[in-house]
Amino acid sequence: MVDPVVDLLKRVKAIYTDDHFVYTSGKHGSVYINKDAMYQHPQETTLVCRLFAERHQDLDIDVVVGPAVGGIVLAQWTAYHLTELKGKEVIGAFTEKDARENQVFRRGYDGLVKNKKVLVVEDVTTTGGSVRKVIRSVRRAGGRVIAVCSMVNRDSEHVTTKTIDAPFSSLCIVEANAFTPHLCPMCKKHIPINRTIGHGNKLRNTHSYGKTRKKSL
């Protein structure tokens, strides 16, 4: 049975496999979820956010927070659907990266979460690092994290409620190994890193760069 979220991502060509990618965490892998491809399609994006909202509609949530950039879209649409489902206004807010790569509140958004019950949403969790940073910022601002949910969990063994330090779930699971560069089997085989998709274009070691084929699931 095909998972509906996985099926949606396939339809918008947002899943790539059999290539050499660099993830946000800096780790390498052969599968990449190109969530930006989904954000080009409003109907599919709002459908995912409706699923976020329906999963959490029975919880007492005041604010939905997501990490910029993709989390802005998810937080706003999820807050919209929760507002409809719960019959009360649910606010959408987001965090942004600072110079140290932390996720912090700007624009006075820390005031929106103070003393509020918060749902944190994310598109893809690979190591869980981004959502942990969002959780810390919510707590520092005086908010209470009620739940955390990602669209796709890439590592269900290591990204859990325990490792996230908050109630965690995902809409679907797409398992994919992530390797530190010195242990990456594709690097050992000298397979060029994809510069077009993922974060390979940020690497300075340009001898590993190269355009490779892109294959959607």
Summarised one tens digit per residue, pLDDT across range 24-51 is 788 999 988 888 899 999 999 999 999 9
Confidence of residue 2 (pLDDT cuts 50, 70, 90): low
| pLDDT for 205 | 54
Share of residues in the chain with pLDDT > 90 (%): 75
pLDDT for residue 198: 85
Q: What per-residue confidence (pLDDT) applies to 206? A: 43
- How much is the pLDDT for 38? 94
Question: Mean pLDDT score of the chain, rounded to an integer?
Answer: 91
Confidence tier at 17 by pLDDT (50, 70, 90)? confident
Q: Which residues pair with 215 in a beta bridge?
A: 17
pLDDT tens, residue by residue, 133-186: 999 999 999 999 999 999 999 899 999 999 999 999 999 999 888 899 999 999
pLDDT higher for 1 or 102?
102
What pLDDT does 164 receive?
96
User: Looking at the domain covering 4-216, what would its CATH class be?
Assistant: alpha beta
Residue ranges of domains in the chain: 4-216
